């Protein structure tokens, strides 16, 4: 009999906060999948346990490390001292056995296994209330799309695993990126049909219909489907449940009106809030954090008067050097938790709509969206004389300063616009190759699946 491992939801036993998140008892051993999905409580635990697993431990893909490692790979972040696991990203010398190359691949495919198990179990279940079944299935489809979006942008062509049957998955070769994107879009469209507009319990810590629109907008932008990207982003921006918050210091608070989807802070021992703040903000009054913002390629590039520099970065004199850190998340310790990890927010949607409009030569409308972001940052509006190419460079710049140290946006932006070599080549030095925009396929994955080919530049 097929069995579904519930390791993903074991994290629910860490804290009382987690139990409140789930509001359901958590199985503590491996159980038969028919039992997992035979009632509302167990089925809910199976799906929501995924979010807990993603945000329960630090130095994992789903919280701190996608922000900081991707920032090191681009031109945003550096580590306080030489350290091989991070130096390979900073110096563009990744190997198929590099620690985070393997860790990210393994983590994401583990999450995909869980989403596939949820889809399979819920689809055949007769014991879950129909409305709840739709909600949980919608969340599972959304999360599978979310994971595959990151896989294709980190590794390029990847195996498209849509089953829990290891006899099938362990032999799969790499699917073309466009095929994976097609599945991502299909999953998000399905999620939109199944999910509702409201957040359960009023907390923005589980995806809803708007979250599916927001991720669809991003996917369409990456696929150069400008009109569709504009439509989906517009659906989010014009939804009365969200707004571009004027107070920059309130954007990343738990359940802020800019938040579309967050991961709840769950490992709250000692009053801990997000891992982003716990790792990224100095613990004491004199020292500096381990991960610091680039003082050559990022900090000096902010325009004078940009409130994002003063509100979203921290600064301190350490020895003779002035160091900066990402301070979008500010709360290391507070009870109850004041901040949650942001996955999707309205600011990005304005930038998506701006670029999609400019690409369609709707220059006035696109510039207006950029001005919304700039005015919030206390910057002047853009000149009406800017042409399409100049406005697209303005988009790149606004994305750089609005989305720094968030989920790899800068690295992905340079890659998708074919600007990586022009921007990162001079920074990374002699090791840089155009193929460095993708990670290598991990060695251990190829050792267990002879059908996995290697990316160019790593053979």
- Give the tens place of pLDDT for each residue, 413-454: 999 999 999 999 999 999 999 999 999 999 999 999 999 999
Q: Which residues on neighbouring strands pair with residue 292, listed in sequence order? A: 78
Asked whether 446 and 452 are in contact (CB, 8 A), the reply is yes
Cα–Cα distance for residue pair 345/402, rounded to 1 Å: 11
Check residue 284 and give its pLDDT: 87
Asked whether 278 and 341 are in contact (CB, 8 A), the reply is no
How does DSSP classify residue 440? P
Which stretches in the chain have pLDDT values below 50? 1-3, 5-32
Residue 136, SS3? helix
Task: Please name which of 399, 256, 275, 391 lies closest in space to residue 333, comparing C-alpha atoms.
Answer: 275
Kindly state the helix (H) or strand (E) to which residue 343 belongs, with its residue range.
strand 341-345
CB-based burial of residue 448 (10 Å sphere; 0-12 exposed, 13-18 middle, 19+ buried)? exposed
Task: Please name which of 196, 246, 239, 201 lies closest in space to residue 217, comparing C-alpha atoms.
Answer: 239
The number of beta carbons lying within 10 Å of the beta carbon of residue 60 is 18
- How many residues are listed for the chain in this entry? 459
Cα–Cα distance for residue pair 355/231, rounded to 1 Å: 12
pTM score > 0.85 for this model?
yes
Asked whether 14 and 267 are in contact (CB, 8 A), the reply is yes
Cα–Cα distance for residue pair 14/105, rounded to 1 Å: 25
Cα–Cα distance for residue pair 229/406, rounded to 1 Å: 20
pLDDT digits (tens, 9 = 90+) for 110-133: 999 999 999 999 999 999 999 999
Kindly state the helix (H) or strand (E) to which residue 148 belongs, with its residue range.
helix 130-155
Domain boundaries, the chain: 3-264+341-447
CATH architecture type of domain 3-264+341-447 = Alpha Horseshoe (1.25)
Task: Please name which of 458, 330, 408 lies closest in space to residue 150, comparing C-alpha atoms.
Answer: 408
Kindly state the helix (H) or strand (E) to which residue 407 belongs, with its residue range.
none
Asked whether 258 and 343 are in contact (CB, 8 A), the reply is no
How does DSSP classify residue 253? B
Check residue 415 and give its pLDDT: 97
Check residue 200 and give its pLDDT: 87
Check residue 324 and give its pLDDT: 97
How does DSSP classify residue 107? H
DSSP 165-223: -HHHHTT--PBPHHHHHHHHHHHHHHHHHH--SSPGGG-SSS--HHHHHHHHHHHHHHT
Work out the angle at residue 22's Cα, subtended by the Cα atoms of residues 18 and 28, and round it to the nearest 5 degrees. 75
Cα–Cα distance for residue pair 340/25, rounded to 1 Å: 23
């Amino acid at each position: 009999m097929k069995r579904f491992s519930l390791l993903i939801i074991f994290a629910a036993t860490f804290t009382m906060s987690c139990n409140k998140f789930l509001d359901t008892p958590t199985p503590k051993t491996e159980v038969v999948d028919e039992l997992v999905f035979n009632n509302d409580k167990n089925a809910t635990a199976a799906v929501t346990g995924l979010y807990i697993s993603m945000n329960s431990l630090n130095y994992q893909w789903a919280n701190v490390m996608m922000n900081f490692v991707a920032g090191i790979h681009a031109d945003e972040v550096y580590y306080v001292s030489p350290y091989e696991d991070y130096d390979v990203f900073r110096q563009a010398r990744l190997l198929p056995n590099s620690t985070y190359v393997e860790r990210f691949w393994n983590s994401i495919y583990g999450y995909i296994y869980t989403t596939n198990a949820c889809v399979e179990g819920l689809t055949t279940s007769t014991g879950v209330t129909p409305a709840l079944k739709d909600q949980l299935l919608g969340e599972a489809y959304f999360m599978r799309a979310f994971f595959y979006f990151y896989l294709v942008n980190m590794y390029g062509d990847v195996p498209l695993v849509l089953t829990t049957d290891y006899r099938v998955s362990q032999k799969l070769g790499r699917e073309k990126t466009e095929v994976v994107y097609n599945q991502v879009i299909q999953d998000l469209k399905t999620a939109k049909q199944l999910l509702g507009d409201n957040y359960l319990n009023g907390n923005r810590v589980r995806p809803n219909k708007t979250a599916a629109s927001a991720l669809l907008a991003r996917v369409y932008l990456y696929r150069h489907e400008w009109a569709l990207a504009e439509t989906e982003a517009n659906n989010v921006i014009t939804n009365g449940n969200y707004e571009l918050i004027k107070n920059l210091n309130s954007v990343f608070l738990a359940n802020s009106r800019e938040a579309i989807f967050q991961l709840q802070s769950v490992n709250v021992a000692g009053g801990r809030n997000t891992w982003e703040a716990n790792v990224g903000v100095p613990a004491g009054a004199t020292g500096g954090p381990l991960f610091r913002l680039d003082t050559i390629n990022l900090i000096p590039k902010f325009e004078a008067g940009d409130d994002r520099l003063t509100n979203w970065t921290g600064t301190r004199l350490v020895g003779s050097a002035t160091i900066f850190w990402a301070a979008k998340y500010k709360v290391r310790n507070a009870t109850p938790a004041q901040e949650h990890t942001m996955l999707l927010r309205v600011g990005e949607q304005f930038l998506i709509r701006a670029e999609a409009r400019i690409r369609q030569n709707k220059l006035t409308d696109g510039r207006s969206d950029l001005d919304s972001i700039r005015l919030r940052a206390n910057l002047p509006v853009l000149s009406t004389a800017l042409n399409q190419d100049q406005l697209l460079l303005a988009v790149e710049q606004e994305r750089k300063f609005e989305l720094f140290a968030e989920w790899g946006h800068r690295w992905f932006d340079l890659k998708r616009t074919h600007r990586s070599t022009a921007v990162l080549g001079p920074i990374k030095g002699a090791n840089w190759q155009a193929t460095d925009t993708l990670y290598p396929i991990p060695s251990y994955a190829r050792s267990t699946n002879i059908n996995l080919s290697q990316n160019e530049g790593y053979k």
